[in-house]
Every structure is written in structure tokens, then in C-alpha cells.
Chain A
Amino acid sequence: MKMKKILVISLLAVFGVYLAEVLFKLDFGRQFFQQGVKDFYLITSPIKLQVANTVTAIVVNFRGFDTLGEVTVLFLATTAMGSILYKGRHQLGERTVLFSGSRIVTTGSRLLFPAIILLGAYVFIHGHLTPGGGFQGGVIIATGFLLMLMAYADYTVSHVVLSVVESLAGITFATIGLLGMLHGGSFLQDFLPNGSLNDLLSGGIIPIIYIAVGFKVGAELTGLIYTALNEKD
């Protein structure tokens, strides 16, 4: 037992020193390569796509395929968790982990809930202008539901509604990709007018995809938490 600990620590130390030695060849705070893809992204995003937030432009437009995969990973995580914790047809629908809140907590949560949902919606609608986007907005919405689930012991979320929202949002994402293919010949290609920089209605398909992603992530994460809470011991 002691031996294993010492062995692991010494191995880790060797690994860490080697990694550090290699990384210290990089100068922190400087670009290390001559010509990278980032210059193109930084120039094309504001000029051609009219998207102020370059990270959003990369996530949704240049590397939109990654985002489709990422949404799928979350979808699969929810499915996997449901499949792993599933115990049979007749044992659904009862909460096992209960957080019972006092009156202050419940009233406060009820007050905060719409505000949180609104904030989430704001974040994913303005994903191409300000920091944030579909994932962040979706997570914020999920935390809103989490707050309600914690405050009220009998708060329920309909599994059917969640799964419908999730499916529809996913289908929207994939369909937009296929529409781009019909229009311009490549999957997820931008086919809407770009508008002008820092306008709400700009960036082509980015706002639409981010709204779909926001709904999807929100529904998925709410479902994920709900599955975990309903796990029976």
C-alpha cells in the first residue's frame, strides 16, 4: 500500500517535471507559431460574418460540426445515465433526494426563478454579441430548474416535455445543417443574411443554432439532474 503510493508519486513527479520542462520552452503570453488559423478567424468573423464574439463564430460557424458533436455528447450522457440508473418500468416518478426548504427559501426561489430563466434566455440570444451562448444559457436555465427542485420537495418536471423539447431542438440543429447543404453545398453552411456588426439580428445562422442549443442543453441538463434526483436507493 505504502509502496504503491510512493511509486505513483515518484512516477507523477517524473512526468510532471518532464511536462514542465517541455512547456517552459513556450513563452507565456506570446504566440508561438508564425501563421495559424486564428488570424483568419479574427479577421473573417467581424468583417464577413458580422459576429462580434469571435469565440462564438468559431464554435458555431467555423467549427460548428464540433458543436453538433458536443450536443450529441450531452444527449448521450443523459441517455447513458438514464440507461445505467434504470431499474424497470414500474419504479419511476418518486423523488428520493429531498431538499426541503423553509418558507424564505421557497418564496425566494419562486421570485428568482423567472429572473434566472430570463437571464439564461438573454445569454443564449446574445451569444454572438456578448460572452456566452447556447451552452452557457442552457446551463443557466438548468440551474433555475435545479433551484426549484431544491426548494420544493414536490416540484416535478415532465419527462415527456423535456424529451420533446430536446428532440425538437436537436432536429432543428441538424436540419439547419442540412438546409445549408441544400443551399450552398456544404453542411452547416451559413445561408442567412449576415446583418451588421453588433446588431441583434446578425451573424446568419448563429443565433438560430444557439437558441436551439440553449433549449437543448437546458432540457438535457434538467433531465439529467432530475434523473439523478429520482434515483431510488
Chain B
Amino acid sequence: MNFTLFDLKIVEYSFFITAILVIMIGLYGALVKKSLIKVVIGLSIFDSGINLLLISIGYITSGTAPIFSPALVKDMPLTLENIKKLSEGMVDPVPQALVLTAIVIGFGVTAVALSLVIRLYRHHQTLNIDEIKNLKW
């Protein structure tokens, strides 16, 4: 296999590679960083990477969005065959539905995490993990 820059193969894998890299960067931030806000930033980057991975797994080359818009179905009888033919060229809607849910849930968790950060700052006057160590980690 020869990977030239414009070889389609590498473009395709580049989505996976990016998603994995972003996941790694987010995990690194969440595990290593000392500032609590940085840790939460790491978590949210991790979340973004996973969402990208999910959507790119559902992608179909030169597919259309899974919406039967008026432009798509105009003057075409809505028979089973027509719909089947249209739907073959559509990307997978299920990962999109899952990501929709995952984004909202991720936002909820981030909000709770940040309110905990505010609470911790109120008690300790610092956000450094090393100084907030009343409990053993």
C-alpha cells in the first residue's frame, strides 16, 4: 500500500486517527493536569473525540443526510422501492441519534463537574489537586 497525501484511504482513516488522537489528548489532560478546571477540560475533549468517532463510524461514502426532504422526494411516488433506493444512499441515522443523546448527557455531567469545582474552590481557595488532598487518592 502506498499512502500518498491525496490517497482516499488516508483521508478516510484520518477521521479515525484524529478521533483517537483527540481522545488520547483529552485522557492525558484528565489524568495528568493539576488544575481541576484543566481536568474537566480534558474530560470534555475526550467526549468530543468519542462523538467524532461515533459519527464517522456511521458515515457512508458519498451518502446523504438521512432526511427525506422535499427536494429529495419531489415528484417521486412514495413506494417501497423508491424509498429503499433513496435510503441506500443515506448515512446511518442510528449513531447520530446516539450522539445526540451523548452530547446532552456530556453537557449535564460537565455542568455538575464544574459546580463541584466551584464548591472545592470555595472551601480550599485553590484548584490545585495536590493541595486538595484531605482524602487519600
**Direct touching of A and B (C-beta under 8 Å):** yes
List A residues at the B interface (Cβ < 8 Å).
Answer: 4-5, 8-9, 12-13, 15-16, 19-20, 23-24, 26-31, 36-39, 41-43, 45-47, 52-55, 58-59, 63, 66-67, 70, 73-74, 76-77, 80-81, 84-85, 129-131, 135, 197-198, 224, 228, 231, 233
List B residues at the A interface (Cβ < 8 Å).
Answer: 12-13, 15-17, 20-21, 23-24, 27-28, 31-32, 53, 56-57, 59-61, 65-70, 73, 78, 80, 83-84, 87, 90, 92-94, 96-97, 100-101, 104-105, 107-109, 111-112, 114-116, 118-119, 122
**A contact residues around B65 at 8 Å (CB):** 131
Cβ–Cβ contact A39 & B87, under 8 A: yes
A47-B78, A54-B66 known; A80-B112 Cβ under 8 A = yes
Cβ–Cβ contact A42 & B90, under 8 A: yes
Cβ–Cβ contact B118 & A70, under 8 A: no
Q: Say how far B43's CB is from chain A's closest CB, in angstroms.
A: 14
A16-B23, A29-B60, A74-B104 known; A58-B17 Cβ under 8 A = no
Seed contacts A8-B28, A38-B92; 15 additional CB < 8 Å A-B pairs: A8-B32, A9-B28, A20-B16, A24-B16, A27-B12, A42-B83, A42-B87, A43-B83, A46-B78, A47-B80, A54-B90, A55-B93, A55-B96, A63-B97, A81-B111
Choose from A12, A37, A70 the contact partner of B105 (Cβ within 8 Å): A70
Cβ–Cβ contact A28 & B59, under 8 A: yes
Choose from A8, A53, A58 the contact partner of B94 (Cβ within 8 Å): A58
Most chain B CB neighbours (cut-off 10 Å) among A13, A42, A63, A73? A42
Most chain A CB neighbours (cut-off 10 Å) among B31, B111, B114? B111
**Main SS of the interface on chain B?**
helix
Most chain B CB neighbours (cut-off 10 Å) among A38, A130, A131? A38
A20-B20, A76-B108, A135-B104 known; A37-B118 Cβ under 8 A = no
Cβ–Cβ contact B100 & A135, under 8 A: yes
A42-B87, A43-B87 known; A85-B118 Cβ under 8 A = yes
Choose from B15, B70, B73, B115 the contact partner of A28 (Cβ within 8 Å): B15
Q: Say how far B124's CB is from chain A's closest CB, in angstroms.
A: 13
Choose from A15, A31, A70, A129 the contact partner of B101 (Cβ within 8 Å): A70
**B contact residues around A228 at 8 Å (CB):** 111, 114-115, 118
Closest to B74 in A: A198
